């Protein structure tokens, strides 16, 4: 009887889940063992060098979580292996130029995460997801799951960047209007920016606070605002910075100039919204034409799966499926390009 139960359990979905959990537990134990060994090695080296620490290094260790004396200066052993892996990923990404791009993406999305951590943890979790799904389900599902784990953080960051930049563009005309009013009240440009930052919400608040910090460190207001325009990819702010530079060189009433720039931005935003309303039908057509084929294929697969077997078992069917996917993607971008009118 026990033999029959064991033979029935082997090869079932429950056995695959159990194998996946055991594999994950074994990997966790292996990582923990290596981490402890590396942590002990790090602790030995830190004890040997403890008497030669400079005050700056001591403060860095205290900031990292130590107490400031003796063993408290040593980083936690459980994080030593991860820190080394993240540092190796950082060096590798820096050579390929991916580190700077990821840092800019995280900075634009206002996500408090280091680029090296994102570049390390995302592939690591993708590999873990792939192995678990490969054991539990099948390789194709595992490949899709691993790809989804890799794509999901990037898609989320891009969504945050787009949403943040859109809010920034909508706040910019009001910011310039408030700044012009502050200048008329007798404030300087920096005082006016501080007054506006105290009245406005994010993301404009954080960008202005960063401008204040850079100006206090010795940068000019124009350069700091120009870097903010580059981070947010705001042509409107670039034009504003250009107007401030010209006003500094040739003179004039900066408050009137900012009012003119703000009024121009509001009119351009009104035109953008009108164009978006006029092109709504085209955007809807792009969505419908792009989704009709996948949804129709899904419906046929749910109703009668045998109809779709030639598409995955025959060479010409696979080739036709690949061509259809490529043409659908090209058509989607083509339609989006047609209805995307720049103002």
For the record, the structure tokens of 264 come out as: 């121009």
For the record, the structure tokens of 135 come out as: 């054991």
pTM passes above 0.85: no
For the record, the structure tokens of 184 come out as: 């008329």
Q: What is the pLDDT of residues 177-223, one digit of tens each?
A: 999 999 999 888 888 888 888 888 888 999 998 898 898 898 888 99
Q: Give the mean model confidence (pLDDT) for residues 103-126.
A: 86
What is the rounded average pLDDT for all residues in the chain?
Answer: 78
Higher pLDDT, 42 or 193: 193
CB 108 within 8 A of CB 164: yes
Q: What is the DSSP letter of 137?
A: S
Q: Is the dihedral of CA 197, 198, 204, 208 positive or negative?
A: positive
CB 212 within 8 A of CB 145: no
Q: Give the mean model confidence (pLDDT) for residues 32-50.
A: 48
pLDDT at 250 over 80: yes
* Architecture of the CATH domain 163-277: Up-down Bundle (1.20)
User: What local confidence, expressed as pLDDT, does residue 284 receive?
Assistant: 87
Within 10 Å of residue 274's Cβ, how many Cβ atoms?
A: 11
User: What local confidence, expressed as pLDDT, does residue 94 receive?
Assistant: 81
User: What local confidence, expressed as pLDDT, does residue 18 receive?
Assistant: 63
User: What local confidence, expressed as pLDDT, does residue 29 receive?
Assistant: 56
pLDDT at 12 over 80: no
């Amino acid at each position: 009887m026990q033999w029959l139960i064991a033979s029935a359990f082997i090869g079932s979905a429950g056995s695959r889940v159990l194998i996946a959990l055991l594999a994950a537990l074994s990997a966790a134990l292996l990582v923990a063992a290596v981490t402890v060994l590396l942590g002990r090695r790090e602790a030995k080296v830190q004890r040997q060098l403890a008497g030669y620490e400079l005050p700056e290094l001591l403060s860095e260790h205290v900031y990292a979580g130590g107490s400031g004396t003796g063993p408290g200066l040593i980083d936690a052993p459980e994080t030593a292996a991860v820190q080394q892996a993240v540092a190796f990923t950082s060096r590798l990404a820096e050579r390929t130029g991916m580190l700077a791009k990821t840092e800019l993406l995280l900075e634009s999305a206002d996500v408090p995460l280091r680029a090296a951590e994102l570049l390390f943890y995302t592939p690591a979790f993708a590999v873990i997801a792939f192995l678990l799904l490969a054991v539990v389900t099948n390789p194709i599902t595992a490949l899709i799951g691993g790809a989804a784990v890799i794509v999901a953080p990037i898609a989320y960051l891009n969504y945050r960047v787009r949403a943040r930049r859109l809010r920034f563009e909508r706040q910019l005309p009001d910011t310039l209007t408030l700044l012009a009013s502050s200048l008329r009240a007798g404030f300087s440009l920096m005082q006016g920016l501080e007054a506006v930052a105290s009245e406005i919400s994010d993301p404009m608040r954080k960008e202005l606070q960063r401008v204040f910090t850079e100006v206090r460190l010795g940068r000019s207001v124009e350069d700091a605002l120009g870097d903010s325009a580059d981070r947010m990819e705001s042509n409107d702010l670039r034009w504003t910075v250009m107007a401030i530079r010209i006003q500094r060189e040739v003179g004039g009433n900066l408050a009137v100039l900012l009012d003119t720039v703000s009024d121009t931005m509001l009119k351009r935003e009104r035109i953008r919204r009108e164009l978006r309303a006029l092109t709504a039908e085209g955007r809807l057509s792009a969505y419908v034409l792009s989704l009709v084929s996948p949804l129709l294929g899904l419906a046929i697969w749910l109703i009668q799966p045998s109809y779709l077997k030639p598409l995955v078992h025959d060479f010409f069917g696979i080739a036709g499926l690949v061509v259809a996917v490529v043409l659908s993607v090209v058509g989607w971008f083509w339609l989006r390009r047609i209805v995307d009118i720049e103002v």
